[in-house]
Amino acid sequence: MGFDLVANVIIAGVLTGLVYGLMALGLSVIFGVVRVVNFAHGEMMTLAMYAATVLFAAFNLDPFLAMIPVAAAFFVLGYALQAGLINPFVTRPEHSQFMLLVAVAIILVNAMLMIFGPDARNVQVDYQLESFEIGRILVDKARLYSALAAIIASFALFVFFRFTLTGKAIRACADNYLGAKVVGLNVKRYYALTFGIGAACVAVAGCAMVLLVDVTPPLGPAYTLLAFVIVIVGGLGSMGGALLGGVLIGVSEALAGLFITPSAKGMFSFGLLILVLLFRPQGLLGRRS
Amino acid sequence: MQRRQFNKALAGAAALAAFPGLVRAQSQKLKVGVILPRSGYLGFIGQSCQKGADLAPGVIKEMLGVDIELMNADFESNVDTARTRAERLIQEGANVLVGPFDSGAAAAIAQVAEQRGVPLVINIAAAPQITEQGYKFVFRNFQTAGDIVRNGLDLIGDLFRATNTVPRTAVYMHVNDTFGQAMTKGIQAMLPMRTQLPFKIVDTIGYDPAAKDLTVEVSKAKAANADFLLLVCRLNDAIILRREMVKQRWNPMGIVSPGSPGMYEEQYFKTLGKLSEYSISNVPWYNPRAKLTQVVEKAFKKQNPKDNLVFHGLNAGFTFEACLIAADAFKRARSIDPKTLADAIRQTNITEKMMLGGPIKFNAKGQVEGIGSACVQNLHLLPTVVLPASAATAKPVFPAPYYKKT
């Protein structure tokens, strides 16, 4: 097995993993602050992928440019969802939250089926079938650009939470619900903001992903599961962990496909998940609760 | 009432009592439960099959003078759903089931049909074991994987002879589902015996039929440095795979399927445009010169003015024929009793048919033998028969023009 083959596969795994990581980052941020697990996460990403295909078909808008309006729309959607629907459930038992978000997921999948039908859709941009050639290594342009977009979005999110007042306030709400209320923070509003940010994050990931994968409504549940695997491996609530988890899953799937059998790719993500749960249940970069 | 009128009425009543089935058959419709994957990863093909079923009531009424009513069900490309949908169709009164395109689903539905004693006429599904279980209510008018592979490999030999080419190596890629595994077993068993074929398989790569990304698979296949790609695929994966080949700049002599769907489907052409050109599928195909084809084509055009039968010929053709088999049996049986219908299906002998091959006759296992295949190549954005020469409308192009030996 040649070096170039292994290198090509690892690079593809890392690049895809970064986009996975951005998707999982949204889930991790929402859970880290609101303490609600978004079971409609993959479905929201699928919706963002459809939004990108619609904008491309209607205005020939490149998915990378579509990230801005789609993220903005998803921020509003996420904010409204948290403010109007999820906030009343924040203090309710976990199974109520679970059922609520599963219901949202089912509604989203069926709405997409009704609106877009079962057909696979994609965007056809000029660079989609092109690759950069570095010696004997080929790097898929669309995958590289998507990964760069994921890195930029993750960095922006990190800066927001670390250095802005709103970001710090959100972290305060996450660290100490009662304390945040005592100092006068409108916790419910910050929860809604956080959900909006998580939704915008998944919208950016969806716009990047549509360049790599054709979209169909049933993709949603598969991505929800994948996002869970990634955040559990990386550490639920950890931003760096989500990215690391995404890359690890991307690379392990790619290497399993190369060295064992492509049919067993998915199996390795779950194998990795079991190992992490056994030996580091808080995730690779997660903190012990 | 006069005495004569009374006697006539009495005679009529006696006839009714003596031959109730006859009256029922004439007055009743045959309820055909059509179960197909109209959504999910097989959605496009399921919808294509549905077009054939939709033609059946009108065309069959004209041909045979019997009424059939379709009861449509979508099993969402999911085997478990197929089983429950079949159960529900039977509960809702389906007299016969038609479908389901997919081998895994066919195996599941066959169990339901057998348990409930309702005939199942399989339109498309190739896994041999479906008709090897001793089922009494399961019938298949489609080639088994073994037949597909045998015909497909023979046509590959014909292709090489017709184009004076001698590829030495192939990399074999296949979907890892019931159909793909059945085809793989067939190829592994038959290829070594076909000494006229000059090539060896240097690597075998199976992949998930619902795969969203085939980067690793194509990297691996490219690294095998084989002369051509032997491919058993479905539709969505065939599109993903072709795109990935372009991204990875892999240009083998050609892509040849020894008998699988995907590369002759309309969506393959629509999505890939020029990239769809020169792909080859050796598959059971329709006979464009058959009388029935012309009737079906006319009805198809009327019902689907924007569509071209050539993109749906295999799916719509076999699905239409499955409905025809059920209606023909209903006409002869004059009954909707499932056992009587199954017995009538077993006696089928339809010579006026649409698809290539001999008459539709079921053997003791419920399998039609002698269904023909054609070598169909994508030329000028249309699936075109290039072999056998007797049915060909163009010459095969192999190697593909973009091929450059590295």
ipTM for the complex shown? 0.84
Question: Which candidate from A9, A117, A119 shows the least CB-CB separation from B216?
Answer: A9
- Do both B172 and B75 map to the same domain? no
For CA atoms A21, A23, A29, A30, give the dihedral sign: negative
**Whether A2 and B223 lie within 8 Å, measured CB to CB:** yes
Q: Which residue from A113, A214, A265 is facing B236, i.e. has the nearest CB?
A: A214
From the candidates B49, B247, B265, B274, which should be mutated to test the interface with A, based on the most A CB atoms within 10 A?
B247
DSSP string, B278-295: T-EEEEE-B-TTSHHHHH
Predicted confidence (pLDDT) per residue in B352-386, tens digit: 999 998 999 999 999 999 999 999 999 999 999 99
Q: What is the pLDDT along chain A (289 residues), one digit of tens a residue?
A: 688 889 999 999 999 999 999 999 999 999 888 888 899 999 999 999 999 999 999 999 999 999 999 999 999 999 999 999 998 888 888 888 889 999 999 999 999 988 988 778 889 898 988 999 888 888 999 999 999 999 999 999 999 999 999 999 999 998 888 899 999 999 999 999 999 999 999 999 999 999 998 898 888 998 999 999 999 999 887 888 999 999 999 999 888 888 888 777 778 888 889 999 999 999 998 876 5
What is the separation of C-alpha B264 from the centre of its chain, rounded to a whole number of angstroms?
13
Reported pTM:
0.80
Compute CA distances B359 → A227, B287, B308, B313, B325, whole Å. Answer: 53, 13, 26, 18, 12
Q: Which domains does chain A have, with CATH numbers?
A: 3-279 (1.10.3470)
B276 and B299 in a single domain? The answer is: no
Examine residue B75 and state whether it is found in any structural domain, yes or no: yes
Task: Check B208 against A9: CB less than 8 A apart.
Answer: no
- Once rounded to an integer, what is the mean pLDDT over residues B39-63? 92
B211 is in which domain, residue-wise?
Answer: 146-286+374-387
B42 chain-A contacts, CB cut-off 8 A = none
Same domain, B151 and B281: yes
Assess whether B247 and B379 both reside in one domain: yes
* Total Cβ atoms within 10 A of residue A289: 7
Dist. CA A216–CA B42, nearest whole Å:
11
Residues of A in contact with B40 (CB under 8 A): 118, 216, 218
Give domain status of residue B342, yes or no.
yes
| B110 and B176 belong to one structural domain | no
- B220/A257 touch (CB, cutoff 8 Å), yes or no: yes
3-class SS of residue B97: strand
B84 touches A: beta carbon within 8 Å = no
* B156 and B278 belong to one structural domain: yes
Chain B contact for A90, CB < 8 A?
A: no
Judgement on whether residues B247 and B350 belong to the same structural domain of the protein = no
Nearest alpha-carbon partner for B210 in A265, A249, A12, A102: A265
Mean of per-residue pLDDT scores for chain B: 90
Considering only residues 153 to 192 of chain A, which have any Cβ-Cβ distance to chain B shorter than 8 Å? none
Are B336 and B330 within 8 A, CB to CB?
yes
Mean per-residue pLDDT for B285-297? 89
Q: Is A9 on the interface with B (CB under 8 A)?
A: yes
- How long, in residues, is chain B? 406
Domains in chain B: how many in total? 2
- Using a CB–CB cutoff of 8 Å, tell me whether A219 touches chain B: yes
- B-chain CB neighbours of A266 within 8 Å are 208
A135: contact with B, CB 8 A cutoff: no
**In this structure, are B378 and B366 located in the same domain?**
no
B261 in the same domain as B188? yes
Say if B70 falls within a structural domain.
yes
- Residue B27 — pLDDT band, cuts 50, 70, 90? low
Residue B51 resides in a domain: yes
* Cβ pairs bridging A and B (under 8 Å): 85
Q: Nearest by CB to A140, from B212, B220, B247: name it.
A: B247
Same-domain check for residues B351 and B216: no
